[in-house]
Structure 1
């Protein structure tokens, strides 16, 4: 500070530069400083000569940086608070008026200066723009910081509709980045969407209420609180119908579609998701702000899983690959991670471990880079399954246990029964029948309690397989009952491929008991339902069994 004091005539220039930041450029400084150009140039020359700042380039394109952060801080703190606020206000309005490209690319700069000026009402819109911009390029931690800065600014406003509208936009903006970094089931995302719900009801904004309810729906959905999601779906559908807005109807269709998939209503789910994908124009607000995902990619991901269960293994793969292609086309990392995870799980359904491993490995790399904890844990589980199925059973089991812990740490409950079913199957293949039974019994209990019945067929089939391994012939009647239960559930759900698997398992058991004709008569009609994918794993297995009967 003493060195600055000795340069009293140029001290003001250093102070204004300090208000701009550790680094400042000549053009902006000239717009703020109240002195002729020649005097400003001379003052800057003296600061450079005194080695208080370094200069890069030539005026007016020159930029300056304080030699030490302490020098900048000393110059800044030497200003009275009122004078600092005046300078920050002048800097913000100068950027607005003279540097539109800077405003467009870095709205957080304007936000910071208006905030330091004590002009919260002017700062908040820029924090919101900065948060949305960062979220759109998957800079989610940056987006969260900007949006929370905006929320801090709202505390300086008097209570009222204006403050509530600002807070509502910021809370909705937080949803997507929090989902991406903390997981769909995170408490932080829930708090943001809950507050947005309260504010939208207070302001009677049904459009924002629909967005908040859908955000909450995804939180509760991934927590496997499907009863709560059901009530949210009903309200979002009521709001969508009342609005007559096709985009809001598309969003309601999407939430209904993802819920109904996990309830085992595959055809209904697919119909709603297809309607959503066709009607929704998602590349705007809801693409990056509320959910952080391209919703057309999300729709295709679920549609592919519906199609596999409904008995269309070729069509399902085509839809999953199309979703991934769209995600890559828009270069949106969170959407790419989502699409890769659903594709990896589809390969797991298809019993293709090499392809599953490749997709899961790419997703894990993206998730590690961008801190997508939920999808990273999910990808780790598929990867562990693929490793085990590729012959490294012990390694795969260890990795699966670790992945399951990571997955549960995200507060996710959805798909836990399915993952436990995979773990039970790996225990069976390792000869650990009793361990597998304990795991599958836990999975069935969780699925029954949560209503997540989409994987009920595989769970009952796996229980039958484990009973045969654990007890042998004495458990044949129990195993047959499990296979029959699986087949009946599949029929009720229209789940042709899971039903085919359960039918193959039952046919093998019946053949071992001398009931070859009954086995063939039961399996052949189910196999005959398929019109595509005849060279996929399950249909090849069905033909082998039929040939032996």
Structure 2
């Protein structure tokens, strides 16, 4: 919301304001008094109003009492005047102080809990007095009224004048009363209630409430708000003296904050990785009986790993092997199907998803969309199954499963889950080279980032858009857009999709005759995929490398070696599109009849088993001219 700076009133405007409020002191006969009011208030209308009211109530010695004030003490003069006016109101002053602790809104019932020493009648009369004196207003005039301060500065001044011990006691009374009965102050959200606990010095209770508030914000996709609340909760944990209690409270905040960081900043971001690394250290020193409770920490630690080789997943599964909990076992398979996909074990990925989705109905999957990787497990399972179905030659089934992932993500209403569905849908359109459908999802990604701060989505959208542009004739600008997007992606996301992106960029580099750079990029991408466990795109990287070696007229042995590696990996992974495309590249090259003969039957069987109803590739890549 924009802030508008209002200029203070000048001398003439100050005189007019005084005349409007108190004509008896605004005349020329009181010019010295007007000067003093202007000096003391600095032209601030609220200060002018309060001083005029005070002057009317304290006619004697006004000039002497105002004379010492200068611009540096305007606030203190205002505070003094306000307190002097309050002191004259008897019990109403105590009610005003309780109201200042209650906040911007309160009612008679709440004030009764904060001021039990006064009768209901006394508090009601005090409210009438404070309204008449100009301190309070009725917020809701009909029915049982709610009240508020006429100006935030009045409330702040009264609040700041309270002794610290008295403030804490009032905050504690409010937190206790409203905590037992939220209907006492239904306008108070969980975060506001947590603030009262913090101000009362109830740090552990405040952390608990801030974690609940962060969970509520995350569930309605208010990511920035949730992050701020939960980071504050983690900061408060440092004020908890007992190590055991502090650890449990930190973990409770980390469970909710981690997925927000992975969704907003990206799983490869420094904040996300550090949070989960710290969290696992704490979780592993907790009692074994608690491990199911802290499973989201283990899961996030696996999810943010930059090496997708399954090592961390094995630790997760080992630590939680004996936990009999449908949700834990579902989320364990959530790890498994992602690992199987990255390693190119597509049949196993599909099987793990099928088992996991059956567990989803019995566990807490629907309620835990925000806890595991910042996305819903069913969305992830349906999306990964779609991608693996494409690899095994079932494009129509892949499209259907991805449509289910998108539909379920939208039903959750959870931004992280919707983002996850969009990213995977974009990847499927990329696999199929369906540029029209891909541009539609890019628009969805950009629209989502307009509503939620998600830098990782911006990077992905830029990469996809650059590739589409390059395939629409804007090769140079598309290439540069991809380079920029990849630079940002490397800072935010884990590397499992980088082999795909590198292959896409190599395609554009080939068209701009930057073949050496394309070969270097393919080599580094293949090495990284081998080392990091993201092997699902390896066959395509080696096929594209073979084509570029042919283009450059390199040794036939190098070309054949690259093609053999591509075909062998595709066959091992049952990656039908890559098996067919690598074999066709081999055939068109006229090289190694022996290798061609060895795989001929395998390729023919793969082609004959292709699922009808949709094309594997919508827009085949133009042949590279050798």
TM-score by length of 2: 0.78
Distance 1:531 1:455, change over 3 A: closer
Distance 1:244 1:26, change over 3 A: same
Match of 2:103 in 1: 21
Partners in 1 of 2:184 and 2:398 — Cα distance? 44
Partners in 2 of 1:337 and 1:443 — Cα distance? 25
Which of residues 215, 220, 223 is equivalent to 1:140?
Answer: 223
Match of 2:270 in 1: 187
Partners in 1 of 2:122 and 2:189 — Cα distance? 30
> How big is each residue's C-alpha offset from its partner over 1:358-406, in whole Å with a ceiling of 9 and x where there is no partner?
1122022213421122233223212222222233323322221121122
Residue 318 in structure 1 maps to residue 400 in structure 2 = yes
Bigger Cα displacement from structure 2, 260-269 vs 77-86: 260-269
Match of 1:263 in 2: 343
Residue 7 in structure 1 maps to residue 86 in structure 2 = yes
How far apart are 1:499 and its partner, in Å?
A: 1.4
Match of 2:459 in 1: 377
RMSD: 3.1
Match of 1:217 in 2: 302
Larger fraction in helix: 1
Residue 236 in structure 1 maps to residue 345 in structure 2 = no
Q: What are the within-5 Å matches in structure 2 for residues 7-156 of structure 1?
A: 7-8=86-87, 9=89, 10-25=92-107, 27-34=109-116, 35-58=118-141, 61-100=144-183, 106-156=189-239
- Tell me, what secondary structure is at the counterpart of 2:518? helix
Match of 1:423 in 2: 505
Match of 2:45 in 1: none
The question of whether the paired residues in 1 share the 8 Å contact of 2:433 and 2:618 is answered with no
User: Higher Cα Rg: structure 1 or 2?
Assistant: 2
How far apart are 1:451 and its partner, in Å?
A: 3.1
Distance 1:98 1:272, change over 3 A: closer
Which of residues 337, 352, 355 is equivalent to 1:275?
Answer: 355
How far apart are 1:519 and its partner, in Å?
A: 12
Aligned length: 535
Distance 1:20 1:241, change over 3 A: same
Which of residues 244, 250, 268 is equivalent to 1:161?
Answer: 244
Bigger Cα displacement from structure 2, 482-491 vs 54-63: 54-63
Partners in 2 of 1:271 and 1:495 — Cα distance? 16
Which consecutive residues of structure 1, in runs of 5 or more, have no partner in the other structure?
Answer: none
Partners in 1 of 2:619 and 2:266 — Cα distance? 38
Distance 1:123 1:354, change over 3 A: same
The question of whether the paired residues in 1 share the 8 Å contact of 2:396 and 2:614 is answered with no
The question of whether the paired residues in 2 share the 8 Å contact of 1:266 and 1:306 is answered with yes
> How big is each residue's C-alpha offset from its partner over 1:447-493, in whole Å with a ceiling of 9 and x where there is no partner?
23323211111111111222233x24x55554343223211110111
Partners in 1 of 2:580 and 2:108 — Cα distance? 73
Residue 170 in structure 1 maps to residue 253 in structure 2 = yes
Residue 246 in structure 1 maps to residue 326 in structure 2 = yes
Partners in 1 of 2:344 and 2:465 — Cα distance? 25
How far apart are 1:327 and its partner, in Å?
A: 0.7
Match of 2:488 in 1: 406
Partners in 1 of 2:185 and 2:373 — Cα distance? 27
- Tell me, what secondary structure is at the counterpart of 1:241? coil
- Tell me, what secondary structure is at the counterpart of 1:421? helix
How far apart are 1:437 and its partner, in Å?
A: 1.9
How far apart are 1:78 and its partner, in Å?
A: 0.2
Match of 2:382 in 1: 300
Bigger Cα displacement from structure 2, 264-273 vs 345-354: 264-273
How far apart are 1:537 and its partner, in Å?
A: 5.0
Which consecutive residues of structure 2, in runs of 5 or more, have no partner in the other structure?
Answer: 1-78
TM-score by length of 1: 0.88
Bigger Cα displacement from structure 2, 41-50 vs 106-115: 41-50
Bigger Cα displacement from structure 2, 143-152 vs 264-273: 143-152
Distance 1:104 1:250, change over 3 A: farther
Which of residues 495, 499, 502 is equivalent to 2:579?
Answer: 499
Match of 1:207 in 2: 292
The question of whether the paired residues in 2 share the 8 Å contact of 1:262 and 1:454 is answered with yes
Q: What are the within-5 Å matches in structure 2 for residues 448-527 of structure 1?
A: 448-469=530-551, 471-472=552-553, 478-510=558-590, 525=604
Bigger Cα displacement from structure 2, 315-324 vs 286-295: 286-295
Match of 1:437 in 2: 519
How far apart are 1:49 and its partner, in Å?
A: 4.4
The question of whether the paired residues in 2 share the 8 Å contact of 1:135 and 1:292 is answered with no
> How big is each residue's C-alpha offset from its partner over 1:344-367, in whole Å with a ceiling of 9 and x where there is no partner?
110110010110111122022213
Residue 353 in structure 1 maps to residue 461 in structure 2 = no
> How big is each residue's C-alpha offset from its partner over 1:251-300, in whole Å with a ceiling of 9 and x where there is no partner?
22221221222122222222222222221334355322353311110111
Residue 530 in structure 1 maps to residue 609 in structure 2 = yes
